[in-house]
Amino acid sequence: MHRIVALGDERVDRGRRGAAGFSLIEVTIALAVTLAIMATLYMVTRSSALLYEVQSHAIERGLSGLRALDDMALEIARAGLGLGGDVQAVVPALPGAGPTADALTVRSNPEGIVGALQAGLLVHKVREVRFRLTTDAQGAVVLVKDVEGQPRQVLARHVGGLRFEYLDDLGETIAPARVRPGRSLGGVRITLSLLPDPARPPVHVPPLTLVVPLEPQSATVTFDVPRPGFRLRRAFYRMRNAVGVVSRPFSEAGVILAESPAGPNWLYTFPLQRLIRDARIDTVVPLARVRQAAALALAPEEGPWSGSLFVVTGVLRSIQVWRVSPDAFGGISASSEVDLLTETRDMSVLGGAAFGIDGGIYLSDPSAGAIFRYLPGDPDPGRARVEPVAAVPGRPGPLVLGDNGSIYCLAEAPGAEGGGTVLWELAFDPAGAPEPPRRVARLEGAPRSVALDPLTGSLYALLADPLGDTVLLELSRPWLRRPQTPPREAFRLSSWRKEVERTLPEAGDVVIPRNLLPPSLDFVSFDASGALYFGAAKVELVLQAELDRPGGVGLHTLGVAGIVGQEPGLVRKSIRIQAWRKKVFGF
């Protein structure tokens, strides 16, 4: 009855509907709306709680990572402070362990405390800091910082990975095994990956990376009066078909491999001391079973064959690898054992040999156009296990292990290229496996020999130029990266011969009879002290010389370091300067 109302009188109708209560549909709609709002509120609240958990976890992870990275960066930036350049300030290893990429030892002397035991012998108070990964009592991987005399400090927990990469002064990566005393480092790249805490909600933690440049903490002052030029120091006569010269770091003796008058090869050891100017031979080590040696390589000091000399021969289309072990005093002498390690017919000609950073001996075969590898550590000695690892166009010849850990090969260019020499680089991937060879540059002339200057890291390539002369080219590290201009000519045989014939010798100069002046050179070598050697088979000579390097290498050089000290609570600062005689090998 109430529904029958006059048109235009809705006000009356609305008032009555309110008085009659809500209909079922209205209640249902209201209930649905309420439920929807409550569900939304619940979801929002739950999301907020989850977000809170996740984000606080992410913040904790981020902060832990940054703090750890900052702590490591500060310590690395202090490396070498107050120690001087002769102390290895950055060691990619822990005490008693081999080189590794996930641990680091940093040394410094922030207080500048130095004592002098005797003239030239200094004792530093060394602060040693070690960063490494370990497992805590709960089984989590943690990054710890150990400082001698202080309790261990945990920098970060739940670490997924820690990696230290070492950069040289050109920014190139150096393998940890090649970070050694005397090797200049440009910086350390730290990569730290943290994992989420398993007890908290999962979260993505991006890895953190920081490059820390190493600061100059010392300098050198030379007392030498500059005297540029190529200076002959010694001439070893009657060295028949000499193959090369090597010496161990810090050793007082060098070793020449040559043929004996009777045929088998001999090793001649001689004193390296620079004061000795005559060509005396200390010891002769007969290698009775070794004939037609074509290459020699000294095993890396950081490897298992440290101190051993490897001689590679090519006899009757068969390649043999011999090992001459060090004697009880670590040198090569008549008591050194000589063993045949392997013999292979997979190769027919030997072009060159060099150790790789993987501990393998790399051998080039010009006729096969390939580089082979022999791993001396393989079991079952005596069997041939020489495998091809790289194909090189042309005729690959001399090999050398470069300062950056790559093997470099001089190869005769294929005929289609019009002759000349091509320099190839055989780099190694982070796992230590050789990568495909990379063509670096083309050089004029035929390849003779290549050697690494241990003082500058430059390669020196000996080439027979098209006019019959012999030239020595300096392939510096910057040039090897960007070989856009011809390399610097460090020595030209014809020019040197003219100079020797034209000038009168001064007191102390080494004089070579005119009929023994070499018409050509066959090999170039460096000993560990940086002295240069040439071999001239036609006149049976081995020449030792000092090379005029850019910047020079002084014999009388001091290292100097300075420390700023400040007493606690005082503004005034004091400076302490220390000096030490730089080690010059063989001096």
Partner 1 sequence: VEEEGLRVLNPRERGVALLLVVVALATLLPLALVLSSYVLTRHRQVNLFRENVGGQAVVRGALALSMARLRSGKIAPRPGEAETLAVDEPPSRPVHVTVSRQPDAVLTLDGSVLGPDQVLGLDLQQLGFDGEGRTVHQFRRLEVYLVEAESPDRFPFPAVRLLAVVARLENGQVVCLGLRYDRGY
SS3 264: coil
Identify the residue among 44, 281, 284, 516 touching partner 1 (CB under 8 A): 44
Cα distance between residue 227 and residue 506, in whole Å:
14
Among 15, 21, 115, 508, binds partner 1 (CB under 8 A): 508
Site membership for partner 1, residue 275 (CB under 8 A): yes
In whole angstroms, give the CA distance from residue 155 to residue 370: 49
* CA torsion through residues 45, 49, 54, 56, sign: positive
133 binds partner 1 (CB under 8 A): no
Q: What is the DSSP string of 300-351?
A: PTTSTTTT-EEEEEEETTEEEEEEE---TTSS--TT--EEEEEEESS-S---
| Residue placing its CB nearer to partner 1 in the complex, 233 or 323 | 233
The DSSP string of 146-161 is: EETTS--EEEEESEEE
The single residue among 20, 25, 507, 570 that binds partner 1, judged by CB under 8 A, is: 507
Among 1, 20, 117, 225, binds partner 1 (CB under 8 A): 225
| Separation between Cα atoms, residue 106 and residue 127, nearest integer Å | 8
Least distance in Å: CB of 198 to partner 1?
A: 22
CA distance 84 to 91: 15
Per-residue x/- marks for partner 1, 67-106, CB under 8 A? --xx--xx--xx--xx------------------------
Give the H or E element holding residue 401. strand 395-401
d(CA 42, CA 46): 6
Cα–Cα distance measured from residue 262 to residue 279, given in angstroms and rounded to the nearest whole number: 22
Residues in the interface with partner 1 (CB under 8 A) total: 61
Residue whose CB is less far from partner 1, 224 or 378 = 224
Residues counted in the chain: 587
Q: How far is the CB of 508 from partner 1 (least distance, A)?
A: 6
* Separation between Cα atoms, residue 432 and residue 295, nearest integer Å: 24
Q: Which of 394, 354, 398, 353 is nearest to 370 (CA)?
A: 394
Choice between 133 and 579, CB closer to partner 1: 579
Q: Does 43 bind partner 1 (CB under 8 A)?
A: no
State which of residues 13, 26, 224, 282 lies at the interface with partner 1 (CB under 8 A). 224
Strand order across the 187-194 sheet: 173-174, 159-167, 187-194, 208-213
- Asked whether the beta carbons of 332 and 253 are under 8 A apart, the reply is yes
Residue number, 31 or 59, with CB nearest to partner 1:
59
Query: Does 272 contact partner 1 by CB under 8 A?
Result: no
- If one counts every other C-beta atom within 10 angstroms of the C-beta of residue 335, the result is 13
Q: Indicate the residue among 317 and 583 with the shorter CB distance to partner 1.
A: 583
Q: Out of 22, 52, 237, 250, which residue is the one contacting partner 1 (CB under 8 A)?
A: 52
Handedness of CA 88, 90, 93, 95 (dihedral sign): positive
CA atoms of 21 and 404, how far apart (whole Å): 90
- Report if residue 5 touches partner 1, rule: CB under 8 A: no
**274 sits near partner 1 (criterion: CB under 8 A):** yes
The reply on whether position 555 binds partner 1 by CB under 8 A is yes
Contact with partner 1 (CB under 8 A) among 35, 36, 41, 43 = 41
Residue 552 touching partner 1 (CB under 8 A): no
Which member of 119, 137, 467, 570 binds partner 1 (CB under 8 A)? 119
**Is there binding between residue 204 and partner 1 (CB under 8 A)?**
no
Separation of alpha carbons 385 and 374, rounded Å = 6
If the CB atoms of residues 362 and 580 are measured against partner 1, the closer one turns out to be: 580
User: Measured from the CB atom, is 53 or 339 closer to partner 1?
Assistant: 53
How many CB atoms within 10 Å of residue 568?
4
Asked whether position 3 contacts partner 1 by CB under 8 A, the answer is: no
Q: Dig out the tokens for 529 from the structure.
A: 């002290």
CB 207 within 8 A of CB 189: no
Residue 564 binds partner 1, judged by CB under 8 A: yes
**Closest separation between CB of residue 418 and partner 1, Å?**
45
Token pair, residue 485, equals 């201009």
CB atoms within 10 A of CB 59: 11
Site string for partner 1, 374-413 (x = CB under 8 A): ----------------------------------------
From the list 123, 124, 130, the residue with the least C-alpha distance to 96 is 130
Closest CA to 63 of 157, 190, 177: 157
Tell me, rounded to whole angstroms, the distance of Cα 140 from its chain centroid.
32
The CB-of-504 to partner 1 minimum distance in angstroms stands at 17
Q: Output the smallest distance, CB 212 to partner 1, in A.
A: 9
- Stretch of 193-201, 218-226, 242-250, 436-444 contacting partner 1, by CB under 8 A: 218-226
Q: Tell me: does residue 10 bind partner 1 (CB under 8 A).
A: yes
Assess 196 for contact with partner 1 (CB under 8 A).
no
Q: Quick check: 62 binds partner 1 (CB under 8 A)? A: yes
Residues at the interface with partner 1 (CB under 8 A): 8-11, 41, 44-45, 47-48, 51-52, 55-56, 58-59, 62-63, 66, 69-70, 73-74, 77-78, 81-82, 110, 119-120, 210, 215-219, 221, 223-225, 227, 274-275, 277, 507-508, 555-556, 558, 560-564, 566, 573, 575, 577-581
